[in-house]
Chain A
């Protein structure tokens, strides 16, 4: 069988290198391209010390609790209300006082736990929100 195929067809041709190069570069581009976090359904991103520890869509009831530096902290999602800190063991409970948030760009921060809740998705009405 091998004898019936011309020898030059068995080796790589210049166009094979071009195709290979394109495939390698396309793969790297696909792997390296940053994903877009904007748009889509409203969700709360839960961040501890700069690291995402959870994502909760705002259209489904949910609770999550964590144990961080300052003790236990819990969040609750209630469709129609948004998300809030439902429990914390830090003494001043500033994060609980923030109440519910439900619009893109709104945040709740718990300093003693270095914990951040941030609403993402949708089209933000404002670039920043202050109380």
Chain B
């Protein structure tokens, strides 16, 4: 009987070690990392193991779940999204979270003189940059561009008494230029609420950091050259901050030697010219996401003029000749 009890105790101890192996064997401070396809990109969150591996990973999963939830709600091509209902059936948007982000999007439109416009969906659809099943790969006719352009205009969106409506039955909302930044900000909130004191959140061309990867060290982010010739910047983030990049290098096609990319100029319905990429550095990821698009459309000269009014916003702008303009030393660590 005594022998059986000893054997059982040993087996129980072995089982306990096995079940809690992550917590027992993962060193404190080790960077834990998880990735997920969501928000139309790959999102990765990494955080040092300070809470125990299982708690840290659970917090990361919860943050990724929150991003996925936003990805579904903010997807204007999903029939379940209030945005789809608004675009197709004119159903007013009353979801408080969506209303708040739409208000913020329109505020960026107002501030930037409309170079960021959340109503560009007809043009995006026409040019075919966001479909995964088809791509036009051809330049639409001027008449088609004019028709699509006539259906856009952020001023046609009305937010009143917690409800979003439109003055034009053809205008559609697409929050693709701001939703990823918002989701990253929400992921940050989830991580902090779960007790995580340091993390890096990466979603597409956007990064948000808080805390430190290890005591005395800062998060470091490399920014690749928009033509993929190595790195043009190595950024060190000693405080909570983020970077959002918009560029002409991922979604594009070339016709007769001309590159047609996905960042449309709301003024004419064609890809914005004069810029290769814009990176914006500021702690608010929602604003950073929308601003990087807005500044890309403005073009380098106007963007730098605009940014003089907001000295707290860091930037790296690469013009269409590859010349780099930056608000800070970007030579690296």
Contacts and interface: CB of A to CB of B under 8 A. Distances in A.
Interface string A105-131: 101010110101000000001111111
Contacts of B250: 94, 97-98, 131
Interface residues of A, number: 37
B41 A109 contact: yes
Given A94-B251, A116-B35, A126 B22 contact: no
Given A25-B14, A126-B220, A127-B219, A97 B252 contact: yes
A44 to B, nearest CB: 15
Contacts of B293: none
B13 interface: yes
Residue from the set A20, A98, A125, A128 with the largest chain B CB neighbour count within 10 Å: A128
Nearest to A23: B10
A33 B27 CA distance: 11
Nearest to B237: A127
B222 A91 contact: no
A20 B247 contact: no
Contacts of A127: 31, 46, 200, 209, 213, 219-221
Contacts of B200: 127-128
A99 interface: yes
Contacts of A25: 10, 13-14, 17
A92 B228 contact: no
Contacts of A53: none
Given A28-B17, A92-B129, A112-B132, A128 B25 contact: no
Contacts of B22: 34
Given A97-B249, A130-B207, A34 B37 contact: no
B221 A126 contact: yes
A117 to B, nearest CB: 11
A21 B206 CA distance: 51
Contacts of B245: 130-131
Given A125-B222, A130-B221, A111 B206 contact: no
Given A33-B21, A130-B205, A130-B207, A17 B37 contact: no
Nearest to B132: A112
B131 A91 contact: yes
A130 B25 contact: no
A75 interface: no
B37 A111 contact: yes
A90 interface: yes
13 contacts: A21-B10, A28-B17, A28-B18, A91-B131, A92-B129, A97-B249, A97-B250, A126-B221, A127-B219, A127-B220, A128-B44, A128-B46, A130-B223
Given A111-B42, A126-B220, A130-B207, 13 more contacts: A17-B3, A28-B17, A29-B25, A32-B17, A33-B21, A70-B132, A91-B132, A105-B222, A125-B234, A127-B200, A128-B202, A131-B223, A131-B277
